[in-house]
A and B are shown apart, each in its own frame.
Chain A
């Protein structure tokens, strides 16, 4: 994208100084809380912008549907409806950060769903075993594509375009053009089930309340420890009252979401899976060495290689991960449909790519977060659901989603140019 070096005069050399040694100086630090906050917002403009946009969309449809959007059963519904796209979007985000693209995930999801169906229905394999084998198939498919991309050097667009055809064909071969059903109850539960109810009768779903409390406690402890350590290292932190505000906002959001879910059937199984992925992948991308290497590769491959990043291995792993997630998405989709069908997964790759870009990815790689992909996916998901509730046809839904994608990325481009000049 546009790189305008030394565009801000704010931190230029500060005039040729007389020899002052490398004296510590004041470091011109001491940025106020305001600038700190502004910086955070500016650096994550798209993500913050999309969070605000998501909130606006929710409020809009909440009013438009006379409150049916946020009814407990519909919230569960939104989560389950969009689960497979969100899972794909998380993997896709990592692929795009690394500077690649994966067009094959829809076909791969269909292929794995079909394979699971064949294993369970035709060969009576226990569903847990079928699930594990399915995930391994996905990982193997990812490794296959990763090999061509990372070690042979074929562009990912080509390799995964080939994969798109390959796995789609494979799906039809496996299923001989027909749907296979039904699945064991346990397998269906992956996409349709909820955490079982326990304990005495309350107005709410008890385990869900418990999970909500655990999440709140975890978040607060984490925030507190972070703050303590940053202070110990004499790093800059948010001022105390702002920090309290931030924590209150998080807690309020978690409480509202928990109560909504708890007044219906509780936490969907697939939500737990997604949260696990979000936390796990988010942690890896932010804190693990390999995650950092992904960002470095996408940001400047030449510089990353010269800094000792094993570019081929990292690229390979990114695609193995994508394959694994595509397989999981395929299983979730099949479980939701309770059938393996040749038509599964069509256009999933495009939805996942759109989610990633709405959520802050850049065409040239190097930027984006897993959380951003989820936010982007939710923007699309809530739009879908809300528009269906108010009776907008799928034809217009497509048009609107297309415009939203264009607007989101267009806003980002405009914003970057504005900041740059």
Chain B
């Protein structure tokens, strides 16, 4: 499907700085990368694109030594020499520095201390502050930060912190800078500054790999883009020959590469719910608005209104940071952020879901996207993890009926096909798919009317995915309302009756099963980023989206 003319053109200036060949990385049960190739030319900005879970982060972790040499197959050539990094330190010594989405700064240390953390200017173990401050000041100027090196990290905003990370990278004599979703948490103004800085660094001969979902930004700054899908390299496209050229490819072209997969997954057939209250609205949310727990200025969920019916599977699509999880968690007992406004009604009656017990009492269940942190007590067994959310139902006068509890767990072990010898197996010894089945069992046993499933198939393999789809279908066939949050579009298309798209905390579209295509959804999920950029940049001169048609 790729026009050969668009394949990576030979480098006009300089040779290759980085070559990753045939990288294959597997985790127990999952192949994250399969024969991936990536070539970065000297002094270029190279974007890496792909859906969530396509393998972008794993790829840079392999490159930076987070996954050490030997834990993957394939070879890495940096500056023409083979690399075998055993940790991050080794890759940094060669000039490869990665800046993660979650910044790695110590909030209560100064900018200078953070910049030279682990790399202090010292004589016989005693830090020479004069030298430290002088060099920090120079680095801060280079990245365009006016703040004093003595300022604490906690006292500056996220945008500036991102710049401090870059200053830190520069202090390590960086040759190849890797940025993972650098603008995800930034506002338009900060994003613009950061992108300008990246372009400036290119001028200084520093090559840069940018992982980003924001296609408009990629078009704006990148020289070439490599697209990953399902852990494979799909194609490498040239965006522009010279830094100042207009981009040669459209966002649609990139989207096509990101989603244009063969439908290799199959979905179980749907059994429609035929109960007498079929089609009745099970849960309706109106005007739901939530602010960020720390940064109260930011609305993470902004005026969201939606409804889900009995027997319906409702999808919510969105890219990382769109506010899907935040919406779900704030609905579920205000477990995220600061509640600002909005109402919830279940079965036609307005209800309060201020605490998790209240939400559960009103028949809402939330299956988390992060089962290890928020879903399971890993050191406890299957039995007790399944019963936790419905213990009072298994108890008489505050005393748990252990036999009944075990019988219930045993029933789910069989019906959900949880692969473990007994229900007394510790949950941390199970594979991801089986852990997910335990979490699902827990919430199914709580007998909710509305089940919110957040990335229920994340990090589990194809066979287990099918089993989970079957469970979800059965829930809908039994008249439950299912809200299905997922980053995998084919999954939403294959499973859902209706799909909402979210972006920047807002609902940006509603698509029925018949109309839905990956391209349409992706457009709703990314397009709104542009519109929000353009509406704002109308007031700021020289907004980054000059190519907007």
Name the prevailing secondary structure of the A interface residues.
loop
Tell me the smallest distance from the CB of B87 to a CB of chain A, in Å.
18
Are A233 and B420 in contact, with the CB atoms below 8 A? no
| Residues of B395-417 whose CB lies within 8 A of A | 395, 398-400, 402-404, 406-407, 410, 413-417
A19 x B377 contact (CB < 8 A):
no
* Chain B: minimal CB distance from A222 (Å): 13
**Beta-carbon contacts of A227-253 to B below 8 Å, as 1s and 0s?**
001100111100000000000000000
Partner of B373, one of A289, A295, A302, A307: A302
Inter-chain contacts of B414 with A (CB < 8 A): 24-25, 27
Q: Does A199 contact B (CB under 8 A)?
A: no
Considering only CB atoms, which chain A residue lies closest to B358 in the complex?
A308
Chain A residues lying within 8 Å of B470, measured Cβ to Cβ, are 19, 21-22
| C-alpha gap A226/B268 in the complex (Å) | 42
Report yes or no: A8 in contact with B407, Cβ–Cβ below 8 A: no
What residues on A are CB-neighbors of B402 within 8 Å? 286-287
Of the candidates B368, B377, B399, the one having the most CB atoms from chain A within 10 angstroms of its own CB is B377
Q: Which residue of A lies closest to B380 (CB)?
A: A299
Instruction: Specify the chain B residue showing the minimal Cβ separation from A31.
Output: B421
In the docked arrangement, what's the CA distance between A29 and B424, Å? 12
In whole Å, how far is A124's beta carbon from the nearest beta carbon of chain B?
40
Is A200 located at the chain interface by the 8 A CB criterion? no
Interface centre among B392, B416, B420 (most CB of A within 10 A): B420
The answer to whether A43 touches B429 (Cβ under 8 A) is: no
CA distance A27 to B360 in the complex (A): 30
Q: Mark B419-461, 1 if CB is under 8 A from A, else 0.
A: 1111011101111111100000010000000000000000011
**1/0 contact trace for A156-168 toward B, CB 8 Å?**
0000000000000
CB of B389 closer than 8 Å to a CB of A? yes
A-B contact count (CB 8 A): 177
Contact between A295 and B335 (Cβ–Cβ < 8 Å)? no
Nearest chain B CB to A403 CB, angstrom units: 27
A308 contact set on B, CB distance < 8 A: 333, 356-357, 360, 389
Residues of A within 8 A of B4 (CB): none
Residues of B within 8 A of A28 (CB): 419-421
Asked whether, in the complex, the Cβ of A12 is within 8 Å of the Cβ of B398, the reply is no
Determine the chain A residues whose CB is within 8 A of the CB of B392 once the complex forms: 289
CB distance from B379 to the nearest CB of A (A): 5
Bound CA span A252–B414, Å: 39
CB neighbours (8 Å) of B425 from chain A are: 11, 39
Known interface pairs A235-B403, A235-B407, A289-B391; A303-B377 also in contact (CB < 8 Å): yes
Does A9 contact B374, Cβ atoms closer than 8 Å?
no
Residue B53 lies at the interface, judged by CB distance under 8 Å to chain A: no
Q: How far apart are the CA atoms of A41 and B426 in the complex, in Å?
A: 13
Cβ of B420: which chain A residues have Cβ within 8 Å of it? 11, 28
On chain A, the residues within 8 Å of B360 by CB distance are: 308
Check B388 for interface membership: any CB of A closer than 8 A: yes
Contact B356 A17 (CB under 8 A): no
A408 to B428, CA, bound (A): 24
Contact, CB under 8 Å: A295 / B377: yes
- Interface presence of B484 (CB below 8 A): no
A12 to B425, CA, bound (A): 13
Residues of B within 8 A of A85 (CB): none
On chain A, the number of residues with a Cβ less than 8 Å from chain B's Cβ atoms is 61
Flag if A11 contacts B377 (CB, 8 Å).
Answer: no
- CB of B357 within 8 A of CB of A11, answer no
Q: Which chain B residues numbered 446 to 480 have a C-beta less than 8 Å away from chain A?
A: 460-464, 466-467, 470-471, 474
Q: A11, A18, A289, A303: which has the most chain B beta carbons within 10 Å?
A: A303
Distance in Å: Cβ of B362 to nearest Cβ of chain A: 12
Q: For chain A residues 307-354, which have a beta carbon within 8 Å of chain B?
A: 307-310
Given contacts A16-B462, A19-B266, A19-B466, contact A303 B406 (CB under 8 A): no
Q: List residues of chain B with CB within 8 A of the CB of A21.
A: 268, 470
Residue pair B380, A295 in contact (C-beta under 8 Å): yes
* Docked pose: A287 CA to B470 CA in angstroms: 34
Closest to B418 in A: A27
Chain A residues lying within 8 Å of B398, measured Cβ to Cβ, are: 288-290
Asked if B15 lies at the interface with its beta carbon under 8 angstroms from chain A, I say no
Q: Complex Cα distance A241/B414, Å? A: 28
With a CB–CB cut-off of 8 A, which chain A residues contact B399? 283, 287-289
Query: Chain B residues near A14 (CB, 8 Å)?
Result: 419, 463
Cβ distance B175 to chain A, nearest Cβ, rounded Å: 35
Contacts of B435 in A (CB 8 A): 5
Which 7 pairs, one residue from A and one from B, show the smallest C-beta to C-beta distance? A16-B463, A299-B377, A17-B463, A307-B389, A16-B462, A300-B377, A31-B421
13 sample A-B contacts, Cβ–Cβ < 8 Å, listed by A number: A5-B435, A6-B29, A11-B430, A11-B431, A13-B464, A16-B461, A19-B268, A25-B417, A296-B377, A300-B373, A300-B376, A307-B442, A366-B377
Known: A296-B388, A306-B366. 7 other contacts (CB 8 A): A5-B428, A13-B464, A27-B417, A288-B395, A292-B387, A292-B391, A303-B373
